[in-house]
């Protein structure tokens, strides 16, 4: 058996406390063997030995049965053919001591387990008196069992007989509770999966399993009712299997949806349920009162007896739990009672938590998930405060790798964000795993290591070891699992970066591509994507657990398809770079086919059965979009594809891209009602002249799902908006003013939507610059206009073969000089062009992709004269490549520069020509700015984007505010000019001048201690939370008038979508110095230049919550104004 101990990983820390006798050095004993979970103390001896065929085992009737069975298996797997079990020393050349360890330990010069904590053990392997000894000296039966799990990892394979290294390990767990809670929603684990889970917990020295599946009606909805006999028998089997693995089977009951806390009958029903579990062997119990509204009471006596609100709920729950605690004490052999409280996350004190602190029996352990339901970090400071706030021992219910809230995701990243040393504050850390139990083992491995020895926990090493265990130690499979985990990294809370290794490769590719080294870019990326495509096959053949392969099957299948799409995309780009249009188009079609198949995959478990597996989303799909845009540009379509946007999350698979897919039968659908300030819209990809705009909302079956009061707006930069029209109807249309230019167009709610969600069937923005095309002719078929809709993923499809005289004609709204015509599609036809009313043949249609020169003439129309009886035509697009277009499109984003400093402006030159084009770029700066180089020449390859970096410097005396840089691109007789915004602000210091200063607020969330001072105390745990007024404000008094240049806002979940920064010297007259819109929360910095003693944050539009909530409001003075 290959084990993680055979990997060449880092050596463990050895403790100097152990005494070992002098021995002869063996070559196999040089390197310490890696053991998981990490032992507290491990010292290498130099008297290891090979394992003989006959081994004695000292054990008697008091020996732990599971430990004895484990030793038998270890020895058998190591090639031992005869095992002699005896209560006394069998005198064998090698002896394993499960009993009477004193004598062999003394001979080895090793102290026993005295002084170790519960579940601890001493494991000593060495030679003495010409005999080989393996001593497993446990503090208790669990300790002995855990010693066998360490022994299992120490067996080493060699060219001959297997061997054991000389070693002494003194080991004990850092935390009392280590394991898992089956507390997720969706498809629960099966009985067989739970049994296997207990085996995994035991072999990894985890001792806790909490039974709390949300699907069990007798656990929650029907908690008063006794379990039917068949269900009770299964629970008995679970309790027995858990016991055999030294896992505490903790039965949880969740009565909060209907309990009357003051009712003796309800208390009796709860205890009767616990008695039934006690009778089948259960000795550990939890009362879960989570995920309820404690303002809702289920009998009139409760609020009368306990009071209302959080305080009343805390008193009521304490009353019930204290009765259960009396039952626990009466039993005498039941573990400490546990409570999952209603306020199970966060750190601020509250009336509810005070009541728990004051009235709940101190022996009861309280569950807590961290600073949030899914906590990004859990620190020693967090846990110390949680323990103080609750007034009880804390058991961390850590919501990782649970995935019931992120349908389609399979979290496989490392277990990060948890401080070393948490064992000093908490009783334990347990995992709420995923719907997939075998895949969850990758994460549980780290939970085991962290809860056993958190003081040295290394997330990366533990994660690598978990992958190695899943791979059976095979390096190729480990690498495949790592790549698979990379595209399954993002969870939105603990891991915020998706597919970091793929991102790095893609970024390197585009750097080379945009620098003109297209061949080098392809050589860089193609092997990476081919390797990713092979990952699922490697995992299926290399992972040792069939359950892992079955559970991950949908994600493995999807990974293979997405990787094949990536590979096809690189091939497409390579072919277009070489001018091979037909081959590039074939790969484009393969790409789309792979994506379609990937999006059709479904897992069998809920909630994942309702959506496709999410593989590297936001990375892989974006690369494919960008690659397709590059091919579009190469063909002659606008490569800047419109992207649907929405400030609301999506219901099921009805994503924002469906509002810009040209299909009225698909739609974006929000998962909530829009609030004032929410919006739907499009990003056109580049600034362009806009014409008619239409927003088609609502659908059959949901006619009221539209924004009932909104304003249609457009913007160049996404910051400054201009209104087109206001509306209250499901279909909104407007025509932009002449010469209006925009990149962003949105429809924004001006009022809350009254509970109705939002459906957008199509959001269209017409480009006023483009020529309009009309398609006529045949043969008859479907979607005739798709031949000129500017989209390669749609097509005109003829219903039958062409008849004699059939032709397809595309007429332009005006004639323009045309370099060539591109036809993407299939069919047999002669291609003709019309100039000055006269048709002339320019060539024949070729299979898939045809490109025909037209000599720069003023082209009016194109006609495809079909060959009668040939195959039914399918035309994706007919493209006129005009000569009177700019040398390149110019795109550059807003740049912010400090006075007296410089910044890098990245200018995108987007190909518009059907040739490689030499482009001269010139830059002219406004007063106070300099730019370098002022002029440069680059070749923009057909279909590509060339990035040019310019250095923009601001003089020390440059005026604060927005400045302009004029860029001009010229080539092939065409010139294009663009204005780029350069924001200049004074440099600011690094000291937060708001820290500890007096702060006031318009209001505070009722019933809380979330006061204004919390936003300036430098503590990321505390926060200010406003009342439910959208115009709430927070003011900091700096003590004297100060020139301030920046503010950093660190938001809790209740962020502001729009707000202002105001300054005042008297606290009465205020000046707005900065405005922020379209914000998404998190940590954000806003630059400005304002002077005042009082700095006010003024709310304008709330985010998804009814209040605003700031962890910190930090201010930074201009460098020469205040340090």
Q: How far apart are CA 582 and CA 822, in angstroms?
A: 11
DSSP 692-746: EEEEEE-BTTBTT-S-SSEEEEEESSSSS-EEEEEE-SSEEEEEPPTT-EEEEEE
Residues 6+ apart with CB under 8 A from 610: 407, 602, 652, 653
- How far is C-alpha 1111 from the chain's CA centre? 22
Question: Does the pLDDT value for residue 315 go beyond 50?
Answer: yes
Between the alpha carbon of residue 440 and those of residues 447, 466, 548, 866, the distances in Å are: 11, 11, 9, 59
Average pLDDT over residues 35-42: 98
Predicted confidence (pLDDT) per residue in 98-139, tens digit: 999 999 999 999 999 999 999 999 999 999 999 999 999 999
259 burial via Cβ count (<10 Å: 0-12, 13-18, 19+): buried
Residues 6+ apart with CB under 8 A from 283: 248, 249, 333, 334, 335
- At residue 26, the pLDDT reads 45
Residues 6+ apart with CB under 8 A from 214: 183, 184, 185, 186, 188, 220
Q: How far apart are CA 470 and CA 539, in angstroms?
A: 10
Partners of residue 181 on adjacent β-strands: 210
Residue 40 corresponds to which tokens in the numbers above? 């507290």
| Catalytic residue of the set 89, 215, 291, 458 | 291
N- to C-terminal Cα distance for the chain?
63
Residue 769's pLDDT band, with cuts at 50, 70 and 90, is: low
- At residue 27, the pLDDT reads 46
Residue 489 corresponds to which tokens in the numbers above? 């990294």
Q: How far apart are CA 173 and CA 450, in angstroms?
A: 10
Residue 886's pLDDT band, with cuts at 50, 70 and 90, is: confident
Predicted confidence (pLDDT) per residue in 426-471, tens digit: 999 999 999 999 999 999 999 999 999 999 999 999 999 999 999 9
Q: How far apart are CA 468 and CA 462, in angstroms?
A: 10
Q: How far apart are CA 770 and CA 790, in angstroms?
A: 11
- At residue 907, the pLDDT reads 96
- At residue 816, the pLDDT reads 94
Predicted confidence (pLDDT) per residue in 954-970, tens digit: 999 999 999 999 999 99
| Nearest one of 291, 467, 492 to 376, comparing CA atoms | 492
| Omega before 607 within 30 of 0, i.e. cis | yes
Predicted confidence (pLDDT) per residue in 909-949, tens digit: 999 999 999 999 999 998 899 999 999 999 999 999 999 99
Q: What is the largest CA-CA distance in the chain?
A: 111
Predicted confidence (pLDDT) per residue in 141-196, tens digit: 999 999 999 999 999 987 778 999 999 999 999 999 999 999 999 999 999 999 99
1048 burial via Cβ count (<10 Å: 0-12, 13-18, 19+): middle
1003 burial via Cβ count (<10 Å: 0-12, 13-18, 19+): middle
Q: How far apart are CA 338 and CA 246, in angstroms?
A: 19
Question: Does the pLDDT value for residue 763 go beyond 50?
Answer: yes
| Nearest one of 400, 373, 516 to 463, comparing CA atoms | 400
Inter-residue contact 929 to 903 (CB < 8 Å): no
Partners of residue 936 on adjacent β-strands: 921
In the chain, the percentage of residues whose pLDDT exceeds 90 is: 86
- At residue 453, the pLDDT reads 97
How would you write 794-823 as a 3-class SS string? CCEEECCCCCCCCEEEEEEEEEEEEEEEEE
- At residue 638, the pLDDT reads 76
Residue 25's pLDDT band, with cuts at 50, 70 and 90, is: very low
* Least trusted range by pLDDT, from 423-432, 477-486, 684-693, 722-731: 684-693
Which single residue is written with the structure tokens 């002995």?
Answer: 144
Q: What angle do CA 887, 892, 896 make, to 5 degrees?
A: 155
- At residue 641, the pLDDT reads 62
Residue 16's pLDDT band, with cuts at 50, 70 and 90, is: very low
As separate numbers, helices (DSSP H) first and strands (DSSP E) second, the chain gives 19, 51
Q: Is the dihedral of CA 677, 681, 687, 690 positive or negative?
A: negative
What 3-state DSSP class applies to 104? helix
What's the length of the chain?
1123
The contacts found for 506-514 with CB under 8 angstroms, 24 or more apart, are: 506/619, 506/623, 510/626, 513/573, 513/944, 513/945, 514/944, 514/945, 514/946, 514/947
What 3-state DSSP class applies to 384? helix
- At residue 1040, the pLDDT reads 97
Backbone angles phi, psi at 485, to 5 degrees: -65, -35
- At residue 834, the pLDDT reads 98
Active site residue 291: yes
Q: How far apart are CA 566 and CA 483, in angstroms?
A: 15
Backbone angles phi, psi at 762, to 5 degrees: -160, 135
pTM for this predicted structure = 0.85
Report which DSSP code applies to 657: G
Predicted confidence (pLDDT) per residue in 229-270, tens digit: 999 999 999 999 999 999 999 999 999 999 999 999 999 999
Predicted confidence (pLDDT) per residue in 193-206, tens digit: 999 999 999 999 99
* Least trusted range by pLDDT, from 88-97, 635-644, 822-831: 635-644
Question: Does the pLDDT value for residue 15 go beyond 50?
Answer: no
Between the alpha carbon of residue 548 and those of residues 173, 204, 476, 553, the distances in Å are: 28, 17, 17, 8
Backbone angles phi, psi at 41, to 5 degrees: -140, 135
Question: Does the pLDDT value for residue 11 go beyond 60?
Answer: no
Average pLDDT over the chain, rounded to whole? 93
Residue 31's pLDDT band, with cuts at 50, 70 and 90, is: low
Question: Does the pLDDT value for residue 975 go beyond 50?
Answer: yes
Residue 21's pLDDT band, with cuts at 50, 70 and 90, is: very low
Q: How far apart are CA 537 and CA 19, in angstroms?
A: 49
Q: How far apart are CA 283 and CA 271, in angstroms?
A: 13
- At residue 583, the pLDDT reads 98
Predicted confidence (pLDDT) per residue in 1011-1041, tens digit: 999 999 998 888 999 999 999 999 999 999 9
Structural domains in the chain, CATH included, are 4-171 (3.30.379.10), 177-470 (3.20.20.80), 471-635 (1.20.58.460), 639-768 (2.60.120.260), 773-878 (2.60.120.260), 888-985 (2.60.40.10), 988-1118 (2.60.120.260)
Average pLDDT over residues 350-363: 97
| Nearest one of 144, 113, 134, 122 to 47, comparing CA atoms | 134
């Amino acid at each position: 058996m290959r084990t993680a101990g055979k990997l060449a990983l880092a050596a463990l820390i050895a403790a100097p406390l152990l005494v070992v006798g002098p021995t002869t050095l063996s070559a196999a004993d040089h390197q310490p063997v890696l053991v998981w979970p990490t032992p507290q103390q491990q010292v290498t001896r130099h008297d290891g030995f090979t394992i003989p065929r006959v081994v004695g085992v000292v054990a008697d009737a008091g020996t732990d049965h599971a430990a004895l069975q484990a030793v038998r298996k270890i020895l058998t797997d190591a090639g031992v053919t005869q095992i002699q079990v005896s209560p006394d020393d069998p005198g064998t050349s090698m002896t394993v001591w499960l009993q009477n360890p004193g004598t062999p330990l003394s001979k080895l010069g090793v102290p026993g387990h005295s002084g170790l904590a519960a579940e601890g053990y001493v494991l000593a392997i060495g030679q003495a008196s010409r005999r080989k000894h393996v001593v497993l000296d446990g503090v208790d039966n669990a300790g002995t069992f855990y010693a066998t799990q360490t022994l299992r990892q120490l067996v080493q394979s060699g060219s001959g007989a297997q061997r054991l290294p000389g070693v002494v390990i003194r080991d004990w767990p850092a935390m009392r509770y280590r394991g898992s809670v089956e507390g997720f929603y969706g498809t629960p684990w099966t009985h067989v999966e739970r049994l296997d889970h207990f085996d995994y917990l035991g072999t990894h020295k985890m001792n806790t399993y909490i039974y709390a599946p949300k699907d069990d009606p007798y656990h929650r909805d029907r908690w008063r009712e006794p379990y039917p006999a068949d269900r009770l028998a299964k629970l008995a089997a679970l309790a027995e299997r858990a016991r055999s693995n030294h896992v505490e089977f903790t039965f949880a009951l969740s009565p909060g949806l209907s309990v009357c806390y003051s009712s003796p009958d309800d208390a009796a029903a709860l205890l009767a349920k616990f008695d039934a579990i006690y009778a089948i062997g259960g000795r550990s119990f939890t009362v879960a009162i989570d995920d309820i509204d404690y303002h809702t009471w289920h009998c009139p006596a409760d609020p009368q007896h306990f009071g209302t609100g959080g305080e009343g709920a805390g008193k009521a729950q304490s009353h019930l739990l204290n009765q259960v605690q009396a039952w626990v004490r009466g039993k005498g052999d039941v573990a400490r009672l546990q409570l999952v409280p209603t306020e199970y996350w966060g750190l601020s004190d509250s009336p509810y938590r005070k009541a728990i602190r004051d009235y709940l029996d101190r022996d009861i352990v309280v569950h807590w998930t961290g600073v949030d339901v899914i906590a990004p970090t859990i620190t020693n400071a967090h846990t110390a405060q949680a323990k103080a706030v609750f007034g009880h021992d804390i058991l961390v219910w850590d919501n990782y790798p649970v995935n019931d809230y992120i349908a389609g995701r399979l979290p496989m990243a490392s277990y990060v964000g948890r401080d070393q040393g948490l064992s000093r504050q908490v009783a334990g850390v347990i995992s709420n795993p995923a719907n997939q139990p075998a895949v969850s083992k990758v994460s549980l491995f780290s939970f085991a290591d962290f809860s056993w020895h958190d003081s040295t926990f290394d997330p990366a090493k533990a994660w690598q070891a978990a992958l190695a265990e899943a791979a059976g130690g095979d390096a190729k499979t480990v690498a495949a699992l790592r790549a698979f985990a990379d595209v399954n990294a993002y969870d939105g809370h603990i891991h915020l970066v998706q597919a970091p290794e793929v991102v790095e490769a893609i970024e390197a590719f585009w750097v080379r591509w945009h620098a003109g080294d297209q061949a080098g870019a392809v050589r860089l990326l193609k092997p990476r994507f081919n390797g990713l495509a092979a990952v699922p096959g490697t995992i299926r053949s290399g992972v040792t657990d069939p359950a892992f392969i079955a559970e991950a099957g949908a994600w493995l299948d999807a990974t293979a398809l997405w990787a094949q799409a990536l590979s096809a995309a690189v091939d497409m780009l390579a072919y277009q770079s070489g001018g091979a249009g037909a081959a590039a188009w074939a790969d484009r079609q393969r790409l789309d086919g792979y994506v379609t198949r990937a999006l059709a995959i479904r897992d069998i478990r809920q909630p994942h059965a309702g959506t496709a597996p999410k593989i590297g989303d936001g990375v892989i799909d974006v690369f494919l979009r960008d690659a397709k845009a590059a091919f579009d540009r190469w063909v002659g379509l606008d490569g800047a594809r419109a992207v649907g946007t929405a400030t609301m999350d999506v219901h099921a698979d009805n994503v924002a891209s469906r509002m810009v897919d040209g299909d009225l039968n698909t739609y974006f659908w929000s998962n909530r009602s829009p609030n004032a300030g929410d919006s739907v819209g499009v990003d056109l990809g580049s600034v362009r002249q806009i014409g008619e705009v239409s927003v088609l909302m609502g659908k059959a079956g949901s006619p009221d799902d539209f924004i009932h009061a909104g304003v249609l707006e457009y913007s160049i930069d996404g910051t400054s908006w201009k209104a087109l029209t206001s509306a209250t109807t499901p279909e909104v249309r407007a025509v932009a003013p002449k010469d209006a230019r925009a990149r962003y167009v949105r429809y924004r709610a001006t009022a809350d939507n009254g509970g109705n969600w939002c459906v957008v069937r199509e959001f269209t923005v017409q480009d006023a610059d483009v020529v309009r095309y009309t398609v006529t002719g045949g043969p008859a078929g479907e979607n005739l206009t798709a031949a000129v809709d500017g989209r390669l993923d749609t097509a005109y499809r003829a219903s039958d073969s062409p008849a004699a005289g059939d032709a397809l004609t595309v007429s332009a709204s005006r004639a323009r000089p045309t370099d060539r015509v591109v036809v993407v599609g299939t069919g047999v036809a002669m291609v003709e062009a019309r100039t000055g009313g006269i048709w002339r043949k320019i060539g024949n249609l070729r299979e898939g992709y045809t490109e025909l020169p037209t000599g720069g003439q003023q082209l009016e129309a194109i006609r495809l004269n079909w060959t009668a009886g040939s195959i039914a035509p399918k035309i994706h697009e007919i493209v006129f490549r005009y000569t009177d277009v700019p040398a390149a499109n110019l795109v550059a984003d807003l740049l912010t520069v400090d006075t007296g400093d410089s910044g890098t402006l990245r200018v995108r030159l987007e190909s518009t020509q059907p040739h490689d084009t030499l482009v001269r770029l010139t830059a002219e700066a406004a007063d106070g700015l300099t730019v370098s180089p002022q002029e440069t020449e680059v070749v923009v390859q057909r279909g590509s984007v060339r990035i040019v970096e310019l250095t923009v410097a601001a003089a020390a005396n440059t005026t604060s505010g927005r400045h302009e840089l004029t860029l001009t691109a010229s080539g092939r007789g065409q010139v294009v000019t663009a204005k780029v915004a350069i924001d200049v602000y004074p440099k600011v210091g690094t000291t937060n001048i708001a820290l500890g200063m007096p702060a006031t607020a318009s209001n505070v969330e009722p019933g809380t201690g979330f006061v204004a001072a919390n936003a300036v105390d430098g503590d990321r745990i505390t926060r200010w939370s406003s009342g439910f007024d959208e115009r709430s404000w927070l003011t900091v008094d700096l003590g004297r008038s100060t020139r301030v240049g920046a503010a950093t806002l660190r938001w809790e979940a209740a962020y502001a979508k729009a707000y202002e920064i105001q300054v005042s010297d008297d606290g009465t007259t205020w000046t707005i110095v900065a405005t922020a819109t379209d914000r998404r929360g998190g940590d954000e910095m806003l630059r400005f230049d304002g002077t005042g003693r009082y700095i006010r944050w003024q709310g304008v539009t709330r985010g998804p919550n009814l209040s605003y909530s700031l962890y910190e409001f930090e201010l930074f003075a201009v460098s020469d104004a205040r340090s």
